[in-house]
Structure 1
Amino acid sequence: MKVTCLTFNQFQENTYLLYDDTKECVVIDPGCYEKHEQQQLKNYIEQNNLKVVRLLNTHCHIDHVLGNKFVADTYNVPLEIHKDDLQTLRSVPAYAPVYGFPMYQEILPEAYLKEGDTIKFGNTELQVIFAPGHAPGHVVFYNELKKICIGGDVLFQQSIGRTDLPGGDFDTLIQSIKTKLFTLPDEVTVYPGHGPETTIGYEKKYNPFLR
């Protein structure tokens, strides 16, 4: 499995494309809003002969969902989120103009993810892990074979997700990290929603929020 990160919008949000030798691809948290960002995503998919088969959100804050409709419409794939983040998604149109995204187009999920689900594409499988705290319905996606975790805004390099947004809770987030992420092997690479990748072992040792 290959992981490609494209960084979009004013929040410097990491959009991930995961694919394997079959060329089947999942798009996670598309943050592409501007036309040139959408074209960048499209160009990468075309240049690598990828077939988009799933559209997934780790959670539904505005910076992670700006490109949902573009991906869904362009590649004819339904949006999949955790049900507990539906209200988070539904709230986006009300505040999008204030954040400088007046052309945001809403799309609602056609399927829901839950703890323990397996996302299959090509010869690859991702495990869905429920990790709330930053957002009520936050999930992460874990590939055991390659020891890769697409972590959204739960855990960052020497930091954690903010908990001052609606539905956020600091204690819940810390519990999610300790019981859901820190139980993964130390060598697991975490690809976060912002900033550079890190590893579980590194964060156990150096993250000031989790010592």
Structure 2
Amino acid sequence: MIRIHSFTFSPFQENTYVLYDDSREAVIIDPGCYTRAEQDELTRFVEQNGLKPVKLLNTHAHIDHVLGNAFVKRKYGIELYLHEKDVPILKAAKVMAPNYGFAQYEEADVDHFLEEGKSVEFGHTVLEVRFVPGHAPGHVAFVNHEARFVIGGDVLFRGSIGRTDFPFSDFDTLAHSIRTQFYTLPDDYTVYPGHMDPTTIGREKLSNPFVKA
């Protein structure tokens, strides 16, 4: 049985996820932990639950989602997975970080590229990789069909969508991603977003004011 634990880190109120199953293997998705207290909160959870992190995944590489990449890689000796099209965004994070007050940000190198239609496996769990650009050029989402959920990053929120006023963002592309990669999932799938509370595919298809089904 897969379990999902979320943390909300940084002034951006970014959601970091730890996914694990009965094997105790775990993946860490979008670590936004920057301060020592945030890093300690993450490691304490891992230790208290006897988890073994085996992979570090990024849905995309905007600064709020990658603040803890270097720390997690170093702490657990694991490798970073990101879509190739978001590598320039990751490289830019080092330049942008001081502008947002993150002067001690550490850059982390990508070890593996995520590919559309492929899967990420750990323990007894399989995550399908879906390519969902628009908010970021290499944005992906992770879908688990057994437990019926999506780790969606900054694509679809409860009553909202990801911003498209950033460089390399585009509303039409994002709307297409939502309609073809999110709204094609069953209504009862839970969406765990990069910010704010979870929602469901059915709720957003019915009432999202930005992208209609």
Same fold (TM over 0.5): yes
Task: State the Cα deviation string for residues 56-85 of structure 1 (Å, max 9, x = none).
Answer: 000000000000000000000111100000
Structure-2 separation of matches of 1:164 and 1:114: 25
Secondary structure of the residue aligned to 2:196 is: coil
Secondary structure of the residue aligned to 1:52 is: strand
User: Match for residue 14 of structure 1?
Assistant: 15
User: Match for residue 37 of structure 1?
Assistant: 38
User: Match for residue 174 of structure 2?
Assistant: 173
User: Match for residue 151 of structure 2?
Assistant: 150
Deviation at 1:95, TM superposition (A): 1.2
Task: State the Cα deviation string for residues 153-173 of structure 1 (Å, max 9, x = none).
Answer: 000000000001111000000
Segments of 5+ residues of structure 1 without an aligned counterpart are none
Give TM-score, length-normalised by structure 1: 0.99
Amino acid at match of 2:70: K
User: Match for residue 57 of structure 1?
Assistant: 58
Structure-1 separation of matches of 2:191 and 2:116: 18
Structure-2 separation of matches of 1:94 and 1:100: 12
Structure-2 separation of matches of 1:170 and 1:46: 41
Amino acid at match of 1:146: A
Deviation at 1:117, TM superposition (A): 1.1
Deviation at 1:21, TM superposition (A): 0.6
Structure-1 separation of matches of 2:27 and 2:84: 19
Deviation at 1:42, TM superposition (A): 0.3
Structure-1 separation of matches of 2:9 and 2:22: 26
User: Match for residue 93 of structure 2?
Assistant: 92
User: Match for residue 72 of structure 2?
Assistant: 71
Task: State the Cα deviation string for residues 90-119 of structure 1 (Å, max 9, x = none).
Answer: 001111101000000001101100101111
Structure-2 separation of matches of 1:49 and 1:5: 17
Structure-1 separation of matches of 2:144 and 2:96: 34
Amino acid at match of 2:191: V
Structure-1 separation of matches of 2:35 and 2:178: 33
Secondary structure of the residue aligned to 1:96 is: helix
Where has structure 1 moved over 4 Å in runs of 4 or more? none
User: Match for residue 23 of structure 1?
Assistant: 24
User: Match for residue 111 of structure 1?
Assistant: 112
Structure-1 separation of matches of 2:165 and 2:211: 18
Amino acid at match of 1:117: K
Task: State the Cα deviation string for residues 10-67 of structure 1 (Å, max 9, x = none).
Answer: 1000000000011000000000000000000000000000000010000000000000
Cα RMSD of the aligned pairs, angstroms, is: 0.5
Secondary structure of the residue aligned to 2:86 is: helix
Segments of 5+ residues of structure 2 without an aligned counterpart are none
Amino acid at match of 1:50: L
User: Match for residue 187 of structure 1?
Assistant: 188
